[in-house]
Amino acid sequence: MEKLLEVAGLKKYFPIRKGSLFSRETKYVRAVDDVSFDIHKGEVLGLVGESGSGKTTTGRLLVRLLKATEGDIVFEGKDTQAMTDAQFRPLRRDMQFIFQDPYSSLNPRLTVAHAIAEPIRLHGVATGKEVEERVGDLMNTVGLNPRMASRYPHEFSGGQRQRIGIARALALNPKLIIADEPVSALDVSIQAQVLNLLHRLRDEFGLSYLFIAHDLNVVQHLCERIAVMYLGKLVEVADRESLYAEPLHPYTQALTSAIPVPNPRAKRDRVLLKGEIPSPVNPPSGCHFHPRCQFATEQCRQVVPTLKKVNATRSVACHLY
Ligand code: SF4
């Protein structure tokens, strides 16, 4: 399969100042620290991790909602990091973002028609009557009645608002959609509907997704490959079947063991994580996961493991492999 996006050595460090007025010290939060992955045409890659793992920052760097500290982002063979904002702008049409919170991502003063039409007008894709027709088509595509186009966001349910967000993202016929936890703010019953919609749209328009989620349960039916992130680093990347059947990294093992099973009485070995994710300002030495890992050794406390290929379809960053 042809590559659509190639990310190599991506870093985002946020400076924070500490100390008094006279002795200021700058520290850095390594929100994204040397992350590399690719997405093929028509593929759905899941990016999974707890809050504070850096997954949302990674998504934002791809579409320049944030500027990278270092690293390469190549989209359809074009090095986007070497581009000025003006050079990047036409490419931005091909890479759209769906926000986590459908409640706050829509302007409450704009009707749905305006909200969906905004990117079409901004990029000069259509004018006049064509815009209206395009908005109606997009609403139909995401399962909303175009007669509701003159309503305001507060008149819609959470699931409907996320459909509006999806229609906005589709307005410019993108190739890649970065979906940042698009269902986590929704009721479980509505989550499945939105996931099914994203699945259908992928098939219909040949889209690729980077699907960001905080648990492996949500991504298991949509994503072909999954990348697991912990404290700014990728710890495992694998095809879906291998990852769920035989997770390699101890953190992935803990995440997969937390997935609810249909029969709650079925015997399963739950891997419990000790404590909370540490602060990214002072991450643990060596393997960042070592304070929570039951297999940690002295080597783990001192040496940072790098992401290494273990076979054709998977890579892991752990001294056990
Ligand atoms: Fe655990 Fe060591 Fe592997 Fe880190 S490198 S996950 S501490 S075994």
Q: What is the pLDDT of residues 65-98, one digit of tens each?
A: 999 999 999 999 999 999 999 999 989 999 999 9
Average pLDDT over residues 132-155: 94
CA of 218 to the centre of ligand 1 (A): 25
Q: Is residue 228 part of a domain?
A: yes
Query: How many Å lie between the centroid of ligand 1 and the Cα of residue 178?
Result: 30
The DSSP bridge partners found for residue 6 are: 38, 74
Query: What total number of domains does the chain contain?
Result: 1
Length of the chain counted residue by residue: 321
Q: Domain for residue 194, yes or no?
A: yes
CATH number, domain of 198, equals 3.40.50.300
Residues 9-65 pLDDT 10s: 999 999 987 766 666 778 889 999 999 999 999 999 999 999 889 999 999 999 999
Instruction: Produce one character per residue of 65-104: b if its CB has 16 or more CB atoms within 10 Å, e if not.
Output: ebebbebebbbeeeebbebeeeebeebbbbbbbbbbbbee
Residue of 249, 292, 295 to test ligand 1 pocket, by largest number of atoms within 8 Å of CB: 295
Residue whose CA lies nearest to ligand 1 atom number 3: 318
Ligand 1 mean position, distance from CA 251 (Å): 9
Whole-number Å distance, alpha carbon 219 to ligand 1 midpoint, is 24
Backbone phi and psi for residue 126, each to the nearest 5 degrees, phi listed first: -150, 165
pTM attached to this predicted model:
0.92
| Residue 289 belongs to domain spanning | 3-94+174-260+268-315
Q: Is 129 part of a structural domain of the chain? A: no
* Ligand 1 pocket, residues with Cβ under 6 angstroms: 249-250, 287, 289-290, 293, 295-296, 300, 305, 318-320
pLDDT (tens digit per residue) in 265-317: 666 677 777 778 888 888 999 999 999 999 999 999 999 999 999 998 999 99
Residue 32 domain-assigned (yes or no) = yes
Q: From the alpha carbon of 235, which atom of ligand 1 is closest?
A: 6
Instruction: Say if 244 falls within a structural domain.
Output: yes
- Whether 169 is in a domain gets the answer no
Indicate whether 13 belongs to any domain.
yes
**Which ipTM value was assigned to this complex?**
0.99
Assigned domain for 123 exists: no
Question: Are 152 and 112 a contacting pair, CB within 8 Å?
Answer: yes
